[in-house]
Structure 1
Amino acid sequence: MSTSRNSDRFIRVAAWLTLGAALLPLGGCAVAALPCRLTSATLKIIPVVGHAASTPFDMCASAID
């Protein structure tokens, strides 16, 4: 049972370290603008209205940068 706990902890620590390593190259402003950029990119997938709907989120990301 302790082996299972140790492997769960190892996986959790490895996941956090991977996330940290992925975000490390981003500057402070880039991390803050990430939600705006992800929302904008997701909205742009929608045909016809996607680009218009994503405009406020693009401006949000630009303002943060």
Structure 2
Amino acid sequence: MMTRILQPKRLIGAAVLAGVAIALSGCGVAAFPVRVTSATAKIVPVAGDVVAYPLDKTADAID
């Protein structure tokens, strides 16, 4: 029986998949939606900073 050798396309695909997984493994990706929500809340004149404070602390905890 003939041994199966990895095809170049599969090898390149596996390398790209590994690279994407390593790039997205940071916690900044998970904290991004919280930071965007916090920045949006800060636009509100009076209550914006009060609402954004816990969101900032949550994003800091995720990082």
TM-score (norm 1): 0.57
Which residue matches 1:44? Answer: 42
Paired with 1:47 and 1:55, the residues of 2 have a C-alpha distance of 14
Paired with 1:62 and 1:46, the residues of 2 have a C-alpha distance of 21
More helix by share: 1
Which residue matches 2:10? Answer: none
Structure of larger gyration radius? 2
Q: CA RMSD in A?
A: 1.6
* 4+ residue runs over 3 A deviation: none
Structure 2 residues without counterparts, runs of 5 or longer:
1-22
Secondary structure of the residue that 1:28 maps to in structure 2?
A: coil
Structure 1 residues without counterparts, runs of 5 or longer:
1-23
C-alpha distance after superposition, 1:3-62 (max 9, x if no partner): xxxxxxxxxxxxxxxxxxxxx6x7611100001100000000000110001111101100
Which residue matches 2:59? Answer: 61
The alignment of Structure 1 onto Structure 2 pairs a total of residues equal to 41
Q: Supply the AA of the counterpart residue of 1:34.
A: F
Paired with 2:48 and 2:58, the residues of 1 have a C-alpha distance of 16
* Percentage of matched positions with identical amino acids: 56
